[in-house]
Structure 1
Amino acid sequence: MEVFLALTALLAVDTALSIQERINGENGWYVPKIDGTSEWMDLHKAKTLLVNVKRFLFDADVSFYLYTSSNPTKGKKISASKSSIHDSYFNKDHPTRFVIHGWTKSYLDSLTIIITKAWLSRGDYNIIVVDWADARTNYLAAVLAVPGAGGKVGEMIEYLHDSHGMSLKSLIVIGHSLGAHVAGYSGKTVGSGRINTIIGLDPALPLFSYYAPNRRLSSDDAFYVESIQTNGGIFGFLKPIGKAAFYPNGGMQQPECNLISFCSHVLSVIYYAEAVTHKNFAAIKCRNYIAAMRRDCSSTYKHVRMGAIGNAHEAEGTFYVPVKQNAPFGYNKIPTDL
């Protein structure tokens, strides 16, 4: 009996150590599968696989759909040609927003639609929704398609700036999950100009490394990069990767969401659309991301709000963002009981 108990205890310790050794995003990743489950892939295997499968990767098609106040619900497909832009409602005098979906989604996904509606509710904008849905067959293929898709977005941005007078100073590129890294690559490849702002909505963690900023969204990809991190350490990055990083509810799990479900991951989009419409996500400056996770920050705030346009010149560092369980999720003022 004593031998059995000892073996059981050793097995429990060994199992615990094995679990502890798996640090998502550090020595491997829990890679999502199309059926909603995840599979662990250690760092060495992932690197080997990524290198070996590159030669089999197809170049995913990337399409662009323009929405404006003149066509708010039916996107006009545009391309980098004079006739295409002239036949659309594109207006160089209006600020432009690029919106990029994540894995398994398309330009018609509800998440891109709510961001489009949010910006159009504020006035006249060119909203260009990027579709790179051909790369959604599996997560690995989508990851390998990110650089090419981002490059094509960068080329479109460069074309609209050089040939049609689109302002880079007012340009904001918004990407969710893998789309956040596509946005990052658009900034890396845009040409001689520089994107003003990139918003990364819970940038995807699996198969991306904090220590390889040249292969993911990074703070150098635009004049200002903001990350809104809602499912850190699971589907999204936990460590900050932008000039300013916002951590709603501590950045890992959102109210009423299961930690390992897509619920918290998706809420980054819902929060951002609300922030655009209502400008109501007050934020508290923290010493670092660990303090934000633990809500170990001050109880006061000044002027920075998550998702605000003015953040490009005002926000830097790490911020804790209190949220409610139901919409509207943001606080106009910091509650006193935090």
Structure 2
Amino acid sequence: MKTIWLLTFCALAASVCAIPESERENGENGWYIPRPDGSFFWMDKDDAELRLQQLEMQETRALTTTPVKFYLFTKSNPTKGTKITATSKSITKSNFNANNPTRVIIHGWTQSSSSGMNKNIRDAWLSNGDYNVIVVDWARARSIEYASSVVAVPTVGTKVANMINYLVSDHGLRLDTLYVIGHSLGAHVAGYTGKNTNGQVHTIIGLDPALPLFSYNKPNKRLNSEDAFYVESIQTNGGMLGFLKPIGKGAFYPNGGKTQPGCVMDVTGACSHGRSVTYYAEAVSQNNFGTMKCGDYEAAVNKECGSTYSSVRMGADSNAYMVSGDFYVPVNSKAPYGNIN
């Protein structure tokens, strides 16, 4: 009981009990947890995991609802989404077409369905042809406390999977033409979506998967390379807001994966974190990000992968059938960010 009390006290007063700053390793012995204003506070690993356990217990006891909404965009309604539900009436009245591939987009913390990332990725795919683009809105992403949003991730992923399962069973959606695309916390939602579908999702794209409160050595509690036939991670703020160690079967490291050119005075990491979305949207529409194959992720981070371009392009639609390993990606400081025509 004394130990539990002490851990609880430390979790509430992290600055008192925390590991000295010189000994902190973000993602290893604790995490820098983001606040809505862009600042961070440190929590030791044991304290943070206790806090998550407390929140999970509150969720269970309170039977907290976790609302998730879905908006469908197609060539017929490219800018005004149709809200859809898992009912025959809703889907048959919409422009959903099972003959077309489907792309599901999931936003991250503090964002919503109206956030710019959804528009950019939606427009990129619709510029390529006929797709069902489903934008997910999960309200718990807007919780003031980041940890509260983290705790909601498994439930949200299950609800997205339930919608996909319904579209497969009742309306002919094909999993082998389905991509689930998530940014930051949304990348882990995408992972839980893949874990809960009745069959294997073809591709998951993790755009700088969130690091705070997720452990690399607990792959079943985050996005991992087994959550779909192919998982690609585009890692742009590694070691801060995103993972530095490889997450996807194909892991891509623009500018080495930590910081991005053109993100001046990026103290919070938000600019570099968001570049994963910008790069991916450009990659979908222009297929212009050349890559160098690396021996391991550390070589990618240190930009020690030679100067010869591989045949692989970051974000390419064909990657599921040919890509495995870690890749360094040269990028420009302004659009177009890719440097291959």
Report the TM-score when normalising by structure 2.
0.91
What is the match of residue 282 of structure 2? 274
DSSP 3-state at the match of 1:73: coil
Of 230, 250, 257, the match for 1:251: 257
Question: Contact 1:252/1:259 (CA < 8 Å) preserved in 2?
Answer: no
Cα distance 1:195–1:315, how it changes in 2: closer, same or farther (>3 A)?
Answer: same
Q: Distance in 2 between matches of 1:135 and 1:114?
A: 19
What is the match of residue 104 of structure 1? 110
Is 2:312 the partner of 1:304?
A: yes
> Aligned partner of 2:178: which letter?
L
Of 315, 330, 334, the match for 1:322: 330
DSSP 3-state at the match of 2:164: helix
What is the match of residue 27 of structure 2? 25
The residue correspondences of 1:140-289 to structure 2 (distance < 5 A) are 140-191=147-198, 193-257=199-263, 258=266, 260-289=268-297
Question: Contact 1:29/1:42 (CA < 8 Å) preserved in 2?
Answer: yes
Question: Contact 1:72/1:117 (CA < 8 Å) preserved in 2?
Answer: yes
Q: Distance in 2 between matches of 1:319 and 1:28?
A: 27
Report the TM-score when normalising by structure 1.
0.92
DSSP 3-state at the match of 1:169: helix
Q: Deviations over 1:84-118 (max 9, x none)?
A: 10000000000000000000000110111110001
Q: Distance in 2 between matches of 1:27 and 1:237?
A: 14
The Cα of 1:240 is off from its aligned counterpart by: 0.2
Is 2:123 the partner of 1:117?
A: yes
The Cα of 1:259 is off from its aligned counterpart by: 5.1
What is the match of residue 89 of structure 1? 95
Q: Distance in 1 between matches of 2:55 and 2:243?
A: 24
What is the match of residue 72 of structure 2? 66
- How much identity, in percent, do the aligned residues show? 58
> Aligned partner of 1:177: which letter?
S
DSSP 3-state at the match of 2:78: strand
What is the match of residue 4 of structure 1? none
What is the match of residue 44 of structure 1? 46
Q: CA RMSD in A?
A: 1.1
Deviates more, 1:164-173 or 1:201-210: 164-173
Q: Distance in 2 between matches of 1:21 and 1:248?
A: 28
Q: Where does structure 1 lack aligned partners over 5 or more consecutive residues?
A: 1-16, 334-338
Q: Deviations over 1:265-319 (max 9, x none)?
A: 0000000000000000011100111100110002112321000110001110000
Question: Contact 2:140/2:152 (CA < 8 Å) preserved in 1?
Answer: no
What is the match of residue 293 of structure 1? 301
> Aligned partner of 2:321: which letter?
H
> Aligned partner of 1:56: which letter?
Q
Q: Distance in 2 between matches of 1:256 and 1:18?
A: 32
Q: Count how many residue pairs are aligned between Structure 1 and Structure 2.
A: 316
Q: Distance in 2 between matches of 1:87 and 1:120?
A: 20
Q: Distance in 2 between matches of 1:332 and 1:123?
A: 22
Q: Distance in 1 between matches of 2:151 and 2:260?
A: 29
> Aligned partner of 2:191: which letter?
G
Of 110, 116, 139, the match for 2:146: 139
DSSP 3-state at the match of 2:176: coil
> Aligned partner of 2:36: which letter?
I
DSSP 3-state at the match of 1:163: helix
What is the match of residue 36 of structure 2? 34
The Cα of 1:130 is off from its aligned counterpart by: 0.4
The Cα of 1:59 is off from its aligned counterpart by: 2.9
Question: Contact 1:59/1:148 (CA < 8 Å) preserved in 2?
Answer: no
Q: Distance in 1 between matches of 2:313 and 2:68?
A: 33
DSSP 3-state at the match of 2:42: strand
Deviates more, 1:82-91 or 1:18-27: 18-27
Higher-Rg member (1/2): 1
